[in-house]
Amino acid sequence: MSAMKTTIHGRKLLLLIAVLMVPLAQAEAPPLNLSLPPPAVSQQPVDPAVVKPPPGYQAPLTTLEKIRSYGAIYLGHRDTSIPFSYLDNDGKVNGYSWELCQRVVDAVKTRLNLPALEVVPVFTTSSTRILMAQTGVIDLNCGSMTNSEQRARYVSFSNTYFVAGIKGLVRKDSGIKSAADLAGKTVVTTAGTTSSDYVKAVTSRRNIFVNYRSAGSHQDAFNDVLEGRADAFVLDDILLHGLLASAQQGDAYKLTVVDESFGFEPYGLMFRKNDPEFKKLVDETVAGLMKSGELERIYAKWFLSAIPPKGINLNVPMSPELKQLIKTPNDRGI
């Protein structure tokens, strides 16, 4: 009997302990929450903070502001780009593009009320002219330069004032009459020009294998053909005729320009990009020359008359493309 009571009392004690432990367990472990989390609260976008320039920072001058500040305008030119921009025997800059730039200079003088504005000629090459415009070394490029979409990513162009055909200069005894005759030949182009792109496009389309080489200047490329280092020099046709006109008579007689064109290119005066005030002034100046008929007179002076240094007449009539552009001026590139 005593053993049975002990067993019963033990069971009651265990039951009591179990009952007492339940609330303790509930207090230690929080109940399981099966509900979905509340939706995220959307926050209104915060306006970005205005970034202030560092102390002493000054915004770059516009082209007209720079010209006013310096009291001078810097014009880029070439040395042998007859009849656009070249040096005569006295080292003076001449040419069709150069004269158009002088009309822009006149407009700048009027706009800034600086009649004594100094004009500083700056020699450029095909490879340096874009960088020189971007960095402000020159304010306006007055050479023979094609307005292309690729170049327009970095600089701006005026309304088109000339349209050139891309052709090849060869020796008369070479037998080269067209692009088909260039198979296996060496073609030279001037570094920094678009001429090689035209040659590569035409020869690739016709499956013609051509060797390419690059020259540092138009004159170097001209000499490469004259002296047999290259079979053809591809460049704007008017520049090739200009090089022939300035060459020694005996050398010029050995060379000729083929009839077939690789393409056509619009020329524009070039200057720094993202300067709408200066572009408007340049475009209005060129368009004004077109409207007044003055551009045609300037054209006749450089393409249909005797020009320095040798008094040779290039006798290149105005193309139908340029005549149309005079009626409808635009700055569209290729």
Whose CA is closest to 161, among 268, 263, 239, 285? 268
pLDDT tens for the chain, 334 residues long, are 444 444 445 555 444 444 445 444 444 445 545 454 555 555 555 554 556 778 888 888 999 999 999 999 999 999 999 999 999 999 999 999 999 999 999 999 999 999 999 999 999 999 999 999 999 999 999 999 999 999 999 999 999 999 999 999 999 999 999 999 999 999 999 999 999 999 999 999 999 999 999 999 999 999 999 999 999 999 999 999 999 998 999 999 999 999 999 999 999 999 999 999 999 999 999 999 999 999 999 999 999 999 998 999 999 999 999 999 999 999 999 9
Instruction: Note the maximum CA span of the chain.
Output: 148
- Torsion region of 45: left, alpha or beta (phi above 0 gives left; psi -120 to 50 gives alpha): beta
Burial class (CB in 10 A: 0-12, 13-18, 19+), 88: middle
Q: Which domains does the chain have, with CATH numbers?
A: 63-161+268-327 (3.40.190.10), 165-264 (3.40.190.10)
Output the pLDDT for position 40.
54
Q: How far is CA 290 from CA 185, 249, 284, in A?
A: 42, 36, 10
Cα–Cα distance between 105 and 109 in angstroms, integer? 6
